[in-house]
């Protein structure tokens, strides 16, 4: 049997391992010069005159970005009904109400045409997710936000390296939050970052990520808000420095693998392929929909069968309103038909830069063997 093929795997080379070992030997392990270097490199990569601040996770980044945007108790935030639960959890943690809007079936992105009817006098922000690295229609979203005086916090967890009409995600707009979890297009093991062009927002982010501390010219500290502790380590930052150098190559390989999937699965109507997008799509994941009832099976049984063929299959993601916490708050997944269907039928196929062309062929052959 062939080696097991996971649905994702980070690409860490020996040069990066050696660089991390050097940081260990330096004795400077917490936030230091490597974090500063990583933030500068990210800002240069994103462009648009942005500053970037690194954090321990994108989840922390989203919560901080919302707080910096002035979102608070009693407000409402527009959130896509299909995403990772963190997209709504960070809203709920601020004692703010997530207002779910359905997604488009093919792109899995927030359906911008449905946003207006979801707005109210309490709406303070819109938080789109660039699902799988395919950019949301930001021009249309920004028009709504400007007209209604709303903030936009981009959940760009999937979208480092994504471009929208030639512009890098994070290089324009309000606040953008990236993720560097091990399954993302680049990693810092765990980590995230916020990009913004607003110096006041950057200062607030710094306060929120480290205990609310502000230092004066003599180094004495004051606490100006009840901040968290979300600062990145130099160890993680060194991994990120090396990963960022390779990111464009990683994303180019992801695009090539996605193209192979589209070619190999063309005309195979047992599944629904995702929207293809353009060259700006960074292809964090390749997700397809399968009508398991029509196939006479279940998703767990399908995953088990594919695992038996040495292929790992992920699930990205359930419909958020169908999760227990949100059901208990009165939300119904059925009210968001596309998200409901995606949550029921989605599976994630293997996609990572180290994959070979023959790995895609192997996955597609197994799909055709398992599905009618």
- The DSSP bridge partners found for residue 314 are 348
How far is the C-alpha of 110 from the C-alpha of 101, rounded, in Å? Answer: 7
Q: In angstroms, rounded to a whole number, what is the distance separating the alpha carbons of residues 58 and 41?
A: 18
Give me the pLDDT at residue 1, please.
57
pLDDT one digit per residue (tens) for the chain, 372 residues: 579 999 999 999 999 999 999 998 998 888 899 999 999 999 999 999 999 999 999 999 999 999 999 999 999 999 999 999 999 999 999 999 999 999 999 999 999 999 999 999 999 999 999 999 999 999 999 999 999 999 999 999 999 999 999 999 999 999 999 999 999 999 999 999 999 999 999 999 999 999 999 999 998 999 999 999 999 999 999 999 999 999 999 999 999 999 999 999 999 999 999 999 999 999 999 999 999 999 999 999 999 999 999 999 999 999 999 999 999 999 999 999 999 999 999 999 999 999 999 999 999 999 999 998
- Positions annotated as catalytic residues are 184
pLDDT of residue 333: 97
DSSP string, 327-367: HHTT--GGGSHHHHHHHHHEEEE---TT--HHHHHHHHHHH
- Domains of the chain with CATH codes: 14-241 (3.40.640.10), 247-370 (3.90.1150.10)
Structure tokens at 169: 């995600």
Instruction: Provide the pLDDT for residue 273.
Output: 98
Nearest-Å Rg of the Cα atoms of the chain is: 21
Q: What is the DSSP letter of 231?
A: P
Q: What is the pTM of this model?
A: 0.96
Comparing CA positions, the residue from 275, 300, 329 lying closest to residue 103 is: 275
Residue 150 CB partners (closer than 8 Å, separation 6+): 119, 123, 124, 125, 126, 144
Q: Kindly write down the DSSP assignment for every residue of 233-276, as one continuous string.
A: PHHHHHHHHHHHHHHHHHHHHHHHHHHHHHHHHTT-TTEEPPP-
81: Cβ contacts below 8 Å, ≥ 6 apart: 100, 101, 102, 103, 319, 320, 321, 333, 336, 338, 339
Q: Are 353 and 254 in contact (CB under 8 A)?
A: yes
The per-residue pLDDT for 28 is 85
CA distance 71 to 124: 6
H or E stretch covering 302: helix 299-308
Which residue has tokens 């779910």?
A: 100
Structure tokens at 225: 């808000």
């Amino acid at each position: 049997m062939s080696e097991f093929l996971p649905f994702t795997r980070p690409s860490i080379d020996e040069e990066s391992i050696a660089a991390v070992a050097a940081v260990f030997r330096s004795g400077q392990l917490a936030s230091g010069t490597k974090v500063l270097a990583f933030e500068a490199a990210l800002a240069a990569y994103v462009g648009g005159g942005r500053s970037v601040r690194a954090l321990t996770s994108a989840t922390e980044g989203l919560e901080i970005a919302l707080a910096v945007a002035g979102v608070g108790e009693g407000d409402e935030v527009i959130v896509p009904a299909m995403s990772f639960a963190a997209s709504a959890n960070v809203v709920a943690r601020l004692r703010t109400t997530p207002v779910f809007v359905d997604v488009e079936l093919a792109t899995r992105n927030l359906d911008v045409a449905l946003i207006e009817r979801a707005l109210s006098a309490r709406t303070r922000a819109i938080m789109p997710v660039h699902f799988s690295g395919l950019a949301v229609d930001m021009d249309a979203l920004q028009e709504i936000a400007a007209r209604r005086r709303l903030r936009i916090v981009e959940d760009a967890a999937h979208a480092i390296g994504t471009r929208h009409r030639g512009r890098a995600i994070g290089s324009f707009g309000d606040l953008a939050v990236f993720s560097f979890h091990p399954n993302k297009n680049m990693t810092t093991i765990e980590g995230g970052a916020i990009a913004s062009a607003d110096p006041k927002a950057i200062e607030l982010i710094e306060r929120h990520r480290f205990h609310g501390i502000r230092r004066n010219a003599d180094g004495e500290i004051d606490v100006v808000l009840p901040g968290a502790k979300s600062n990145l380590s130099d160890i993680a930052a060194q991994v990120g420095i090396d990963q960022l150098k390779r990111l464009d190559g990683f994303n180019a390989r992801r695009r090539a693998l996605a193209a192979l999937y589209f070619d190999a699965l063309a005309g195979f109507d047992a599944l629904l392929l995702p929207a293809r997008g353009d060259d700006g799509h960074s292809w964090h994941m390749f997700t397809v929909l399968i009508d398991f009832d029509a196939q006479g099976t279940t998703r767990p049984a399908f995953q088990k069968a594919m695992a038996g063929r040495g292929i790992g299959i992920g699930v990205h993601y359930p419909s958020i309103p169908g999760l227990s916490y949100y059901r208990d708050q009165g939300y119904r997944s059925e009210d968001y038909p596309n998200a409901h269907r995606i949550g029921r039928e989605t599976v994630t196929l293997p996609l990572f830069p180290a994959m070979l062309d023959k790995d895609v062929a192997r996955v597609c052959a197994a799909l055709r063997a398992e599905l009618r």
